[in-house]
Amino acid sequence: MRHEPVMVAEVVELLVPSRGGLFVDCTVGLGGHSRALLEAGADRVIGLDRDAAALDIAREALAAWRDRVELVHADYRELDRVLDERGIAAVNGALADLGVSSMQLDAEGRGFSFRRDEPLDMRMDQSRGPTAAELLRDVEEAALADVIFQHGEERYSRRIARAIVAARRESPVTTTGRLAAIVRGAVPRRGYQRIDPATRTFQALRIWVNRELEGLDAFLFAAARRLLAGAKFAVITFHSLEDRIVKHAFRAIARAEAAIRVLTKRPLVPADDEVAGNPRARSAKLRAIERLA
C-alpha cells in the first residue's frame, strides 16, 4: 500500500534521532515516520495507534527493525499508561501525526470518504465505540448542528442538520453516499466550489466519532512531561481546530515550565515540492517544543 508520511525531513531534523535513544511515535499509522527515525539512528521506537489495521501494515513496514520496535494498540491519549507499564520514565523524542492516514481514507469499508458509497463507520478503532451511522440515528438536530459547526467550521450547519434529521425520518442514514447527497442538497450552490460541499461535514463527523479533540491538550502536557533534557516533541496537525489547540497548549506548557521552550513560533509547513508530489500534505502544520533541562 502506497503511503507518504508528511514532513519527514522536518521531523528528522527536529528530533535528531542520530543521537540515538528511545523515541515514541504516538500515532504510528503505517510506520513511515518511525521508519525514518530508525533509519536516521534511533535505537528504539515505541509506536502507538488505535487502528489495528494500520498496526498490521506498520508491523510489515518495520519488519527489518523488529528487535528495535514495539507496536502497541492504544490511543495516543493513553501514552502515560503505555510508558508506565513498560517502566519508561522519559524518552529522547516524541512525535504525533494527528492526520487521518491514506490507508484510512482509501481503504474500502471504513466510511471516511464520500468517494465511494459504503457503510458509514468512520471509527479509527473499529473494535470499540459507536459508528457514525449509529450516532446519526439518535442525535438531536440542535446538537448535530453544533457538531458540524464546531468541528467542521461549516456555515450551513443548521441547514445540513435539518436535512439529515428529515432524511432519517424516512430511513436511517447508513452510507457515505446517502449522507453526502443529503449534505450537497442542503448547501446552496453559488458558482465554483473549491471543495466538495460534503467535505466539512464529513470532517466534523469523523472528529466527533473519534473524539479527536477531547483530551488533546492533556495528552500534549503528558508528552511534554516525558521528555528527557534535550528531547523534542513534534506534532503535525491537518486542520485549524487541532492546530489552535496545539499552539495554545505548547505556549501554556512553556509558561508553566521554564525548562520547556517552544521551537516554532509559527508552524512549519510542507515544502512546495512535497505538496506537488503529495497533495494531502498541503494542510499539514508542524509545531514543536524542546525540554532544555
The model's pLDDT over 109-166, given as tens digits with 9 standing for 90+, comes to 899 999 999 999 999 999 999 999 999 999 999 999 999 999 999 999 999 999 999 9
Contact 184, 198 (CB under 8 A): yes
The CATH code that applies to domain 8-98+213-291 is 3.40.50.150
Q: Where in the chain is the domain with CATH 3.40.50.150?
A: 8-98+213-291
Whether the Cβ atoms of residue 202 and residue 114 lie closer than 8 Å to each other: yes
- CA 252 to chain centroid: 21
Strands 22-25 and 91-97, sheet pairing: parallel
Domain with CATH 1.10.150.170 in the chain: 114-210
pLDDT digits 0-9 by tens, 180-227: 999 999 999 877 778 899 999 999 999 999 999 999 999 999 999 999
Find the radius of gyration of the CA atoms of the chain.
Answer: 20
Find the helix packing angle between 240-256 and 216-225, rounded to 10°: 40
- Dist. CA 74–CA 72, nearest whole Å: 6
> What's the CA gap between 110 and 123, in Å, rounded?
7
Contact 156, 187 (CB under 8 A): yes
Match 488505535 to its residue by C-alpha cell: 50
Helix (H) or strand (E) holding 91: strand 91-97
- The CATH number corresponding to 114-210 among 1.10.150.170, 3.40.1160.10, 3.40.50.300, 2.60.120.200 equals 1.10.150.170
Backbone angles phi, psi at 23, to 5 degrees: -120, 145
- Reading the block at residue 194, the C-alpha cell is 473549491
Give residue 189's pLDDT: 85
Residue 88 has which C-alpha cell? 519508561
Residue 107 is predicted with a pLDDT of 79
Sign of CA dihedral 208, 209, 210, 215: positive
